Amino acid sequence: MADEFDGMYDTFKAILETFPPTESVKRLEQLGISTDIIQRIRDRHEQQTIRIKELEEPHAVILGNRDTWYTGPQAKDKFWPAIMDLLQKDGWPQKPAIDSLDESSTRIVSLLNHPREKAFSTRGLVVGHVQSGKTTNFTSVMAKAADRGYKLFIVLAGIHNGLRRQTQARLIQQLVEPNPTMWSQLTGLDKDFTPQENPASYFGKSNKTHVVCVVKKNATVLRKLARWLDKASAYLQDCPALIIDDEADQATVATKSINPLILNIMGCLPKCGYVGYTASPFANLLIDPTAEDLYPKDFVVNLPKPQGHFGTEVLFGRYALDGEDPEQVDDGHDMIRSIPEGDVACVRPESKADVDGFEPIVADTLREAVEYFWLVTAARRVRGTGNPHNTMLIHTSVNTSVHNSFKTPLKNLRDRSEKALTDPDFLAHLRNLWERETSQVAAEGFGEKKVPFEQLLSELPGVLGSCRVIMDNSSSEDRLDYANGPVVAIAVGGNTLSRGLTLEGLSVSYFVRSVSAYDTLLQMGRWFGFRHGYADLPRIWMTDELAEWFRHLATVETEMRRDIDVYMTEDENPRTFAVRLRTHPALRVTSAAKMRDSVTAASSYGGKRVQTHYFHTNAEWLGGNLEAARTLTSAASAHAVRVENRSAEGRYVFRDVPSDLVIDFLSTYRFHEKSPENDADLLTGYIRKRISTAGSLRRWNVAIVGNSVGAEENNLTFARGVTVGRITRARIAVTNPAPDFADIKTLMSRRDAAIDLAGNTAQLSEKAIMDLRREQLPDKGLLILYPIDKLSAPSPSKKLREPLNAEEHVIGVGLVFPEPRGTDSTVQKYISADLSNVRIEDEDYSLLDSEEV
């Protein structure tokens, strides 16, 4: 029988080596292999894997470019099945929610070390989305690791008591209570870590329970934990430990007190895996990889965006990345409302000197946001579905005295509004507000039905009567408590509400907090998350500048995740390939201290498309660009080897134009200063270097893309005999547009990048077009001029667009660069960790030494 099983194992282990764990089990089942035999195959595989590890030979299984020992949950497991049962009782669907959680948590455990290895120190990073269920994911990872033999679990739960308590409660519910005799707790709901008398009672061989400890990233607490573990060292030699660092970019990186203490704790644990979790991993990805620090040298993993999650891109849209069809990149939902600069001064002190004695004024936009919140709460009561809580967030300042100053004005507004519910004029005002908002975002698009205003009326008195105004900050005694029945609350706060903590039933946010870094900005977005039963109703009031920053941040996130996926699909790891982070002219990626070990990363224009989407709207600036375009067209007409007149389509192509004409144009045309990738000096420098080092880009095709010629007033003439109809490019709609500025978001279409290619390219993908360019025009660049109508009114279907309304017709520019062959030049527009020495063999942390946070 043993020989028969050995033969079966040799036959079917290839399936384990080829497919992810969940898929491999399914395939074995499809082959008719019994559950018992599958279990024996997986047990044998794990035994062989640890034996190979102990002999320091090559690992046995490759999973998505990573070797692994863990092949997924098994029938004998206790902790992961208990979590699945709880989630199913809470209404989680098996597909896709639980299956996705199972797959992602299995991937992470598969990247840890086998708990029976003699010693290890793993460092990994898991990148989630803000308010997307990271806690449930790392709880699942802990459950699966415990099922396979990990014994000690330390969770670093942010820097505030609220998040620590919330995390402790979740672990008790999902890990401890289903199997109470199998867990020992070093911390409790209202008790951070205090040293226990007898370490042997927790880690001795006679104790078979798993140990869990949930602590704040607080210097006093972590010192006590490190000292206690040091005293327990005799019992920790064979104690596999997993440290989960929630909000891993906060306090963990580049802090003089917390960072060394985390490393000290890891030093006490001979068998230790460290996994950071964060939605804003910018600081973690910039740690010095050569230092004895927490750079994720072993793995970085993206968590998939859960179905129904409201994230940065969903709300704000983003810009197209290289290789994407810009027409397929969405503008986001119409849920952002603009706060004019005049209103900002009413709700936020203009300087630190103005903080003392600051008294806010309930500006029109703030009053409207609060009124809309009450209407949403009434509508949700009518629907009677989803989360029972209703919360509004007001975040205008980090200063606690500013928060507290809002209490009286907001209570007065609530009291006046409650009395005015019998006033026909006030009710007419509320009706207009409700009709306007529900017409801008259709409920049917989210699978909901619009609630008529008449049905709200009976609910409004109860809504206003139960609405609390809460100041939730580090100096207040108020706290958002969702444990004692449904909550209706307007929460004014700062850092205690800006990271990790979930605001239940959040539907309206009023946000003018001035921030200076990507990670701070992203974590302020408490409005990200799930909105079951009211996905059509959330609104965010913020300034137009902040909205543009979030749109840029959505682009950074998408690009960053694309880089991270390289680790799972290509022969790269965090020590050979550094994730690049796109920069912004007005924002830091993270704090200066956390970027001190970063380097400017090289990103080539080779094989890329560059296009203008920011423009000034004044006549002088636009007129200069129009003149530059006409000069280039006249010169191209005279020097091109061949001119293709496609005037019936509104298109011209001037073939084989000398590069000096293109360089002259790029030196004359003025790009908007907010577009760092469209820097004329970088572009011309890249072209010159490519010409001198690789011999390519000596010749260009210059194209004009417009509409077919129509009435004279709709045309634009570039040169004698070169006239096309103007095209429309409406700007992104903002309530209070900045003077002399327009963002059209997308200029080029996929079809445009193929204008000079032979054959039928209409149905080709972006990648196929670039492949065809490499085949037909390997050394030739393409420059396209777009004549944009200065009015450019949007079509009725484009609700998030408004007329361009420039003072002069606009010239857009698109460039398509061939992929490099050999030496290529680069353009500096990213930062990354510095891997050059690797050998292959804005927050206030003054509170971190105070336990009472």
Given 507, 535, 563, the domain boundary residue is: 535
Domain identity same for 81 and 66: no
Please compute the mean of the pLDDT values over residues 515-535 and round it to a whole number. 78
Domain identity same for 156 and 83: yes
What are the tokens at 802? 């408004």
* pLDDT given at position 77: 94
* pLDDT given at position 677: 67
Domain identity same for 10 and 57: yes
Rounded Cα–Cα distance for residues 688 and 696 (Å): 9
- In the chain, how many domains are there? 4
* Residue 577, domain member (yes or no): no
Confidence category of residue 18, pLDDT binned at 50, 70, 90: low
* pLDDT given at position 821: 67
* pLDDT given at position 822: 57
Q: The domain spanning residue 94 has which CATH number?
A: 3.40.50.300
Residue 829 has pLDDT above 60, yes or no: no
Domain identity same for 106 and 229: yes
Rounded Cα–Cα distance for residues 780 and 416 (Å): 69
* Residue 561, domain member (yes or no): no
Confidence category of residue 50, pLDDT binned at 50, 70, 90: low
Instruction: Convert the pLDDT of each residue in 61-114 to its tens digit.
Output: 334 455 678 888 998 999 999 999 999 998 888 888 899 999 999 999 999 999
What one-letter code names the amino acid at 105?
Answer: S
Confidence category of residue 316, pLDDT binned at 50, 70, 90: confident
* Residue 495, domain member (yes or no): yes
Of the ranges 100-109, 162-171, 490-499, which one carries the lowest mean pLDDT score?
A: 490-499
What's the predicted TM-score (pTM) here? 0.71
Domain identity same for 753 and 785: yes
Given 21, 52, 71, the domain boundary residue is: 71
* Residue 845, domain member (yes or no): no
* pLDDT given at position 47: 67
Domain identity same for 523 and 388: yes
* Residue 316, domain member (yes or no): no
* Residue 614, domain member (yes or no): yes
Domain identity same for 37 and 85: no
Confidence category of residue 432, pLDDT binned at 50, 70, 90: very high
* Residue 642, domain member (yes or no): yes
> What domain range is 435 assigned to?
340-535
Coil, helix or strand for 124?
Answer: strand
* pLDDT given at position 623: 97
The overall average pLDDT reported for the chain is 85
* Residue 836, domain member (yes or no): no
Of the ranges 19-28, 366-375, 666-675, 757-766, which one carries the lowest mean pLDDT score?
A: 19-28
* pLDDT given at position 441: 92
Instruction: Convert the pLDDT of each residue in 141-162 to its tens digit.
Output: 999 999 999 999 999 998 888 8
Residue 217 has pLDDT above 80, yes or no: yes
Residue 403 has pLDDT above 90, yes or no: no
Percent of residues, the chain, with pLDDT higher than 90: 47
Instruction: Convert the pLDDT of each residue in 224-253 to its tens digit.
Output: 999 999 988 888 999 999 999 998 988 888
Domain identity same for 228 and 150: yes
* pLDDT given at position 840: 42
Residue 839 has pLDDT above 50, yes or no: no
* pLDDT given at position 847: 44
- Which backbone phi and psi does 630 adopt, to 5 degrees? -70, -35
Domain identity same for 239 and 271: yes
Given 515, 535, 555, the domain boundary residue is: 535
Which contacts of 617-624 are long-range, i.e. CB under 8 A and separated by 24 or more positions? 617/740, 617/741, 617/742, 617/804, 617/805, 617/806, 617/807, 618/740, 618/807, 619/807, 619/808, 621/670, 622/790, 622/806, 622/807, 622/808, 622/809, 622/810, 622/811, 623/808, 624/668, 624/670
Of the ranges 133-142, 330-339, 802-811, which one carries the lowest mean pLDDT score?
A: 330-339
Cα-based angle 686, 689, 694 (whole degrees, multiple of 5): 115
| Segment of 140-149, 277-286, 762-771 carrying the highest mean pLDDT | 140-149
Domain identity same for 294 and 428: no
Domain identity same for 473 and 622: no
Q: Which of 734 and 508 is assigned the larger pLDDT? A: 508
Domain identity same for 463 and 530: yes
